[in-house]
């Protein structure tokens, strides 16, 4: 959460998609004075967020983004949600239509422990970041860091920054993603913008 | 030019007097004495009286005022014993010290709506021109007119910007009207169990109620005052039908089921055998004691005419423009009269103009009436949103000496 917050300039306009119980938004509103909005699917998360005084609506990232006007936000955040998005390209385009920057984070499917589960154990991976048995998982997209970078390039987005986070929580800020990064990062965060 | 003369007109117009013969507790002011109010229908009204109640203390900056808008059959006695029925105020659980709308922090104003007849002018009152009761000569009023009148009172109180406008059902319509018409006068808005326009189904229910009143021979074409009569059968039926729409099927079943009223077997007749029948009859008959039948016609009509996007070619988002108002919409899962989908339409429109909007659907089986009942989750949303907004408004606690 702190890694995402570090990417955001104080006083900017922020939309947090899948904002959960509003912890990140609450932090950004109070410590970075942002004009923050949130969308959250779970009613429990929405109610908690609104009780904190946050501007959060119950809604679905894929269904509701089309209602927002272009350039309404400086940053649109999609935290740990990409893996359950059906229309990935459409959603990513929407993020960068609504916002000048998009911040996308997801569990890296290229992480060595994930690969080990598949390669050695012959099982669909279950880890702290991917905690579901394959048949109960809301995750329908299994994307590696290299996959995402390739997609971003294909969609002609600029990757302003990549942060990889290893198993012990250590974050490293990078310009590009090499094989070793992909291998050792359990999670990754991207700061994207439109190519002009 | 025109705005200057308007301001002068308004000033003359809001010279208010306290009527001496006011039998209800609370404040009343007379407006529209010099310049009558032009109504949405094009007709003029004036002078007219507005009755309102206040709770809490207005701070020196006049920045902590919350306008609470009542629903169809509510009135200004939101947080006190009702002077006529003796019942607790309709938002007794919401407004008060330490309650979700905390009167230690906020100054609450609640006005009887135009046409409401609980101190505010309506068809029951004397027409100053004819010296007789208005009856159906009272002009048709709209939500726009109700809010225009409220704004005159807020101006009279010297409040440049309301901290919050809130209300449920018809109250939510007034909240939306305030936010759309006078956004610069509203810091935050909480429309509860509302909609941007009255649906065909809801107009239909209202029409059933009105027809019941008008079919009562004691209604006398609205002149029952002159005939020393009251259309209590018609009004009672109207209330009974409406009351069903305020509750959910599951709540009715939970409360009453098919239980019989004071009997062990059905009577094979048309007595109130079932508890639900007895309950509805009671609701109908007690309502008649406190509510004017013509007022019911006028206020239901005002709701029917409500369609906030109509002035904006049907584009709801255009009703709000680039608004600075902070919205919190609340709906209830079992409300089928003003269902969540209606609130969601408003949320989508507000998203389209990138407004600051919170939206919460509360899980309950209490139906539309849930906003009047003890719903802890609803209360925590209300108080949470208000304190967040108060922080942004820079409100400090009012010192109580």
Q: Is the pLDDT of residue B215 over 60?
A: yes
Closest among B362, B364, B365 to B330, alpha carbons compared: B362
Q: Is the pLDDT of residue B8 over 80?
A: no
Chain B CA closest to residue A34: B392
pLDDT, greater one: B1 or B234: B234
Strand A171-174 versus strand A73-79 pairing type: unpaired
pLDDT of residue A193: 96
What is the average per-residue pLDDT within B270-286? Answer: 94
pLDDT of residue B370: 96
Q: How far apart are CA B7 and CA B3, in angstroms?
A: 6
Q: How far apart are CA B344 and CA B333, in angstroms?
A: 12
Closest among B336, B71, B350 to B188, alpha carbons compared: B350
What is the average per-residue pLDDT within B36-63? Answer: 96
Q: Is the pLDDT of residue B25 over 80?
A: yes
- Chain A contacts in chain B segment 315-334 (CB below 8 A): 326, 328
CB-based contact B62:B180 (threshold 8 Å): no
Q: Kindly list the distances between the CA atom of residue B398 and the CA atoms of B103, B238, B383, in Å, as whole numbers in the listed order.
A: 9, 43, 16
Task: Nearest by CB to B351, from A46, A52, A68: name it.
Answer: A68
Q: How far apart are CA B253 and CA B198, in angstroms?
A: 27
Domain assignment of residue A44, given as a range: 2-194
Beta bridge partners of B357: B327
What is the average per-residue pLDDT within A74-80? Answer: 94
CB-based contact B166:B193 (threshold 8 Å): no
- Which domains, ranges and CATH numbers included, belong to chain B? 12-201+307-393 (3.40.50.1820), 208-301 (1.10.1740.110)
Touching check for B92 and chain A: CB below 8 Å? no
**Contacts with B351 from chain A: Cβ below 8 Å:** 57, 64, 67-68
* pLDDT tens-digit readout, B68-81: 999 999 999 999 99
Q: What is the CATH number of the domain that holds A158?
A: 3.40.50.150
pLDDT of residue B396: 65
- pTM of the complete model: 0.91
pLDDT of residue A60: 86
* Counted domains in chain A: 1
Q: Where are the beta strands (DSSP E) in B121-215?
A: 126-127, 132-133, 162-168, 186-192
Please list, residue by residue across A146-178, b when 16 or more beta carbons sit within 10 angstroms of its beta carbon and e when fewer do: bbbbeebeeeebebeebbbbeeeeebeebeebe
Indicate the average pLDDT of chain A. Answer: 92
First to last CA, chain A: 29
Q: How far apart are CA A102 and CA A92, in angstroms?
A: 8
CB atoms within 10 A of CB A120: 8
CB atoms within 10 A of CB B96: 20
CB-based contact B346:B314 (threshold 8 Å): no
Asked if omega into B47 is within 30° of 0 (cis), the reply is: yes
What is the average per-residue pLDDT within B56-65? Answer: 96
pLDDT of residue B13: 55
Cβ partners under 8 Å of residue A77, min gap 6? A4, A14, A15, A16, A17, A19, A24, A102, A103
Touching check for B389 and chain A: CB below 8 Å? yes
* pLDDT tens-digit readout, A18-59: 999 999 999 999 999 999 999 999 888 998 899 888 999 998
Consecutive H or E run containing B242:
helix B232-245
pLDDT of residue A174: 80
CB atoms within 10 A of CB B127: 14
The catalytic position among B63, B121, B169, B195 is B169
**Contacts with A50 from chain B: Cβ below 8 Å:** 328, 358, 360, 381, 384-385
Q: Percent of chain A, pLDDT > 70?
A: 99
| Contacts of A10-14 spanning 24+ positions with Cβ under 8 A | A10/A34, A11/A35, A12/A73, A12/A74, A12/A75, A13/A72, A13/A73, A13/A74, A13/A75, A14/A73, A14/A74, A14/A75, A14/A76, A14/A77
Task: Nearest by CB to A55, from B357, B387, B391: name it.
Answer: B357
* pLDDT tens-digit readout, B130-161: 999 999 999 999 999 999 999 999 999 999 99
Touching check for A158 and chain B: CB below 8 Å? no
pLDDT of residue B398: 52
Closest among B213, B151, B142 to B182, alpha carbons compared: B151
Whether residues A51 and B352 touch (CB distance < 8 A) is answered with no
Cα torsion angle, A107, A113, A117, A118, sign: positive
Q: How far apart are CA B332 and CA B192, in angstroms?
A: 9
Q: Is the pLDDT of residue A176 over 60?
A: yes
Q: Is the pLDDT of residue B21 over 70?
A: no
Name the minimum distance, in Å, from the CA of A102 to any CA of chain B: 17
Q: How far apart are CA A165 and CA A161, in angstroms?
A: 13
What is the average per-residue pLDDT within B345-366? Answer: 94
Q: Is the pLDDT of residue B22 over 60?
A: no
Give CA torsion, residues B346, B351, B357, B360, to 10 deg.
Answer: 60
Chain A CA closest to residue B383: A51
Length of chain B: 401
* pLDDT tens-digit readout, A121-172: 999 888 888 889 999 998 899 899 999 999 999 999 999 999 999 888 888 8
Consecutive H or E run containing A73:
strand A73-79
Length of chain A: 196
Looking up tokens 């010099």, which residue turns up?
B34
Whether residues A50 and B384 touch (CB distance < 8 A) is answered with yes
Complete DSSP assignment for B44-86: EE-SEEEEEEEES---TTS--EEEEEP-TT--S-SSS--TTT-
ipTM value of the model? Answer: 0.85
| Contacts of B28-36 spanning 24+ positions with Cβ under 8 A | B28/B52, B28/B119, B29/B153, B29/B156, B31/B149, B31/B152, B31/B153, B31/B156, B32/B152, B34/B9, B35/B9, B35/B10
Indicate the average pLDDT of chain B. Answer: 92
pLDDT of residue A168: 87
Whether residues A67 and B360 touch (CB distance < 8 A) is answered with no
CB-based contact B268:B257 (threshold 8 Å): no
Angle at A151 between CA A146 and CA A152, to 5 degrees: 100
């Amino acid at each position: 959460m702190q890694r995402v917050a570090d990417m955001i300039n104080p006083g900017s306009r922020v939309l947090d998609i899948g904002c959960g119980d509003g912890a990140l938004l609450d932090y950004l509103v109070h410590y970075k004075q942002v004009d923050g909005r949130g969308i959250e699917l779970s009613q429990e998360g929405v109610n908690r967020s609104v009780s904190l005084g946050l501007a959060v609506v119950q809604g679905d990232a894929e269904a509701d983004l089309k209602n927002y006007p272009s350039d309404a936000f400086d940053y649109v955040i999609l935290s740990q949600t990409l893996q359950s998005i059906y229309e990935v390209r459409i959603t990513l385009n929407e993020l960068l239509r609504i916002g000048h920057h998009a911040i996308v984070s997801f569990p890296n499917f290229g992480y060595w422990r994930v690969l080990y589960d598949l390669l050695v154990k012959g099982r669909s991976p279950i880890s702290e970041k991917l905690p579901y048995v394959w048949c109960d998982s809301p995750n329908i997209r299994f994307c590696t860091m290299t996959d995402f970078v390739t997609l971003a390039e294909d969609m002609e987005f600029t990757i302003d920054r990549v942060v990889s986070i290893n198993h012990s929580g250590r974050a490293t800020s990078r310009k590009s993603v090499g094989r070793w990064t992909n291998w050792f990062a359990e999670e990754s965060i991207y700061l994207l913008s439109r190519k002009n | 030019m025109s705005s200057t003369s308007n301001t002068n007109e308004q000033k003359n117009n809001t010279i208010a007097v306290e009527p001496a013969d006011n039998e209800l507790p609370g404040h009343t002011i007379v407006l529209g004495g010099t310049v009558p109010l032009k109504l949405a229908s094009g007709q003029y009204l004036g002078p007219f009286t507005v009755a309102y109640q206040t709770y809490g203390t207005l701070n020196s900056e006049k920045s902590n005022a919350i306008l609470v808008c009542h629903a169809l059959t509510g009135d200004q006695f939101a947080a006190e014993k009702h002077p006529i029925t003796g019942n607790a105020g309709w938002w007794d659980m919401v407004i008060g010290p330490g309650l979700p709308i905390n009167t230690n922090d906020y100054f609450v104003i609640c006005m009887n709506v135009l046409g409401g007849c609980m101190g505010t002018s309506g068809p029951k009152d004397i027409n100053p021109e004819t010296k007789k009761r208005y009856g159906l000569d009272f002009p048709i009023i709209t939500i726009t007119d109700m809010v225009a009148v409220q704004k005159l009172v807020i101006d009279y109180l010297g409040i440049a910007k309301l901290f919050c406008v809130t209300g449920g059902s018809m109250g939510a319509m007034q909240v939306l009207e305030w936010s759309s018409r006078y956004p610069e006068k509203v810091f935050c808005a909480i429309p509860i169990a509302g909609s941007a326009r009255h649906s065909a189904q809801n107009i239909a229910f209202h029409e059933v109620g009105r027809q019941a009143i008008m079919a009562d021979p004691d209604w006398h074409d609205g002149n029952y005052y002159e005939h020393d009569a009251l259309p209590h059968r018609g009004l009672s039926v109207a209330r009974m039908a409406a009351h069903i729409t305020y509750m959910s099927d599951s709540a009715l079943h939970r409360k009453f089921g098919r239980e019989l009223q004071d009997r062990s077997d059905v009577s094979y007749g048309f007595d109130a055998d079932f508890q639900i029948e007895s309950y509805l009859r009671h609701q109908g008959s007690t309502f008649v004691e406190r509510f004017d039948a013509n007022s019911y016609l006028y206020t239901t009509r005002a709701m029917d005419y409500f369609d906030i996007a109509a002035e904006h070619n049907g584009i709801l988002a255009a009703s709000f423009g680039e608004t600075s108002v902070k919205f919190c919409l609340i709906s209830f899962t079992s409300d089928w009269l003003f269902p969540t989908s209606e609130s969601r339409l408003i949320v989508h429109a507000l998203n389209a103009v990138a407004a600051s909007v919170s939206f919460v659907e509360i899980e309950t089986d209490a139906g539309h009436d849930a906003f009047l009942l003890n719903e802890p989750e609803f209360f925590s949303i209300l108080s949470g949103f208000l304190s967040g907004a108060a922080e942004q408004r820079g409100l400090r606690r009012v010192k109580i000496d």
